[in-house]
């Protein structure tokens, strides 16, 4: 019992460290790949680490008009996305906190981070914060149902909402890649992932223009260590969503135990899948321009329609 508890605590700390250390690298990799596709030099791959460290070293400048919520939200947001990441498998099927929740818990934890971020954006009373908050909550009301529908397609095929069991069942069944329901669910989930992490064509994380920014508009009142935590949390959330996409649709190569040989291969395959998905995101951002804000609900509605069709096909076929 004690050995099992020690192993659980160690695995929890290891995956938390993986999320915190790997998230800025994935962010830098996508930016570098995107710059290469656009014939630009772009920032260094490790630039995201330097930006976070620089912000964490600085003191925060806070308006006198804000409440305690502004100071607490960065820690709540950071904790929420880390907890959600501990529910999602990486290179081992059983996530550290898999016993405490399922895919619905992951969606609710990400929604909790969104709620506090949007609420704090209203705390300072700035026009940009209110604009970003209203846009974030309006899109979040569509993103969360679309995400759940896309995940329910996989859950229906597996007969469970536990991510560890879903990964194991899909890996054993070898879900046919040319299955129409698989393709529809894959496209629906990819659309939702892009919207959830705020990338082109839904949002542009590299801009501060009033007409285009959504998530960045809620962070303009932050500075110093609070801004560093919010930036870090956004990058971890991006990695969590990529892990969720990989584990539910491409779980092959994942390890089911702690054996040395299988674990080494699983880590390599996991990193390879992350890089491949980063290339796909960079290509999408290069090939498409940001769509107008009022067209984003139509894009997410199409994702929901694809998920519904995938569910119908799984039931009928």
Q: How confident is the model at residue 137 (pLDDT cuts 50, 70, 90)?
A: confident
pLDDT of residue 24: 94
- Which residues have C-beta within 8 Å of that of residue 189, sequence separation ≥ 6? 147, 150, 151, 245, 248, 249
Measured CA distances, 129 to 67, 113, 221, 260, 314 (Å): 15, 16, 8, 49, 43
Mean pLDDT of 1-28: 83
pLDDT value for 274 = 93
Q: How many residues does the chain have?
A: 317
Residues 180 and 188: their CA atoms lie apart, in Å, by: 12
- Per-residue burial over 171-194, b if 16 or more Cβ lie within 10 Å, else e, is beeebeeebebbebbbbbbbbbbb
Of 259 and 302, which is predicted with more confidence?
A: 302
Q: Which of 2-16, 267-281, 290-304 has the lowest mean pLDDT?
A: 2-16
pLDDT band at 125 (very low <50, low <70, confident <90, very high): confident
Distance CA 75, CA 70 (A): 10
Q: Crossing angle, helix 296-316 and helix 127-158, to 10 degrees?
A: 10
167 vs 211, residue with greater confidence: 167
Query: Residue 80 pLDDT > 90, yes or no?
Result: yes
Q: What predicted TM-score, i.e. pTM, was given to this entire model?
A: 0.91
- 126: pLDDT strictly greater than 80: no
Distances (CA, A) of 191 to 3, 80, 182: 42, 23, 14
pLDDT-based confidence at residue 233 (cuts at 50, 70, 90)? very high
pLDDT > 90: percent of the chain: 26
The rounded distance, in Å, linking the Cα atoms of 146 and 188 is 8
Tokens 């909402």 map to which residue?
Answer: 161
pLDDT at 47: 92
Q: Given this model, what pLDDT does residue 275 score? A: 92
Query: Hey, which residues does 298 pair with through a beta bridge?
Result: none
Q: pLDDT (tens digit, 9 = 90+) per residue, 148-201?
A: 888 888 888 777 888 888 888 887 765 555 677 778 888 889 998 988 888 887
CA distance 87 to 109: 10
């Amino acid at each position: 019992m004690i050995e099992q508890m020690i192993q659980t605590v160690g695995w929890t700390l290891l995956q938390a460290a993986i999320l915190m250390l790997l998230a800025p690298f994935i962010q830098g990799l996508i930016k570098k790949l995107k710059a290469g596709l656009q014939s630009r030099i772009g920032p260094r791959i490790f630039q995201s680490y330097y930006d976070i460290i620089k912000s964490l070293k600085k003191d925060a400048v806070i308006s006198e008009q804000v409440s305690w919520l502004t100071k607490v939200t960065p820690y709540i947001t950071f904790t929420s996305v880390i907890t959600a990441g501990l529910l999602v498998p990486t290179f081992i099927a059983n996530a550290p906190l898999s016993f405490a929740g399922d895919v619905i818990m992951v969606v609710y934890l990400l929604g909790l981070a969104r709620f506090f971020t949007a609420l704090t954006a209203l705390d300072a009373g700035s026009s940009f914060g209110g604009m970003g908050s209203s846009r974030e909550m309006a899109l979040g009301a569509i993103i969360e149902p679309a995400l759940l529908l896309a995940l329910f397609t996989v859950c229906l095929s597996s007969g469970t909402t536990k991510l560890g069991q879903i990964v194991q069942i899909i890996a054993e069944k070898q879900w046919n890649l040319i299955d129409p329901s698989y393709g529809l669910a894959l496209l629906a989930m990819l659309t939702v992932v892009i919207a959830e992490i705020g990338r082109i064509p839904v949002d542009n994380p590299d801009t501060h223009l009033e007409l285009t920014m959504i998530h960045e508009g809620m962070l303009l009142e932050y500075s110093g260590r609070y801004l560093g935590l919010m930036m870090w949390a956004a990058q971890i959330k991006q990695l969590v969503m990529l892990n969720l996409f990989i584990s539910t649709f491409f779980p092959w190569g994942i390890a089911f135990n702690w054996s040395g040989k299988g674990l080494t291969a699983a880590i390599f395959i996991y990193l390879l899948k992350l890089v491949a998905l980063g290339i796909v995101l960079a290509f999408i951002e290069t090939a498409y321009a940001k769509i107008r804000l009022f067209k984003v609900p139509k894009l997410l509605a199409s994702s929901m329609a694809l998920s519904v069709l995938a569910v119908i096909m799984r039931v009928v076929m």
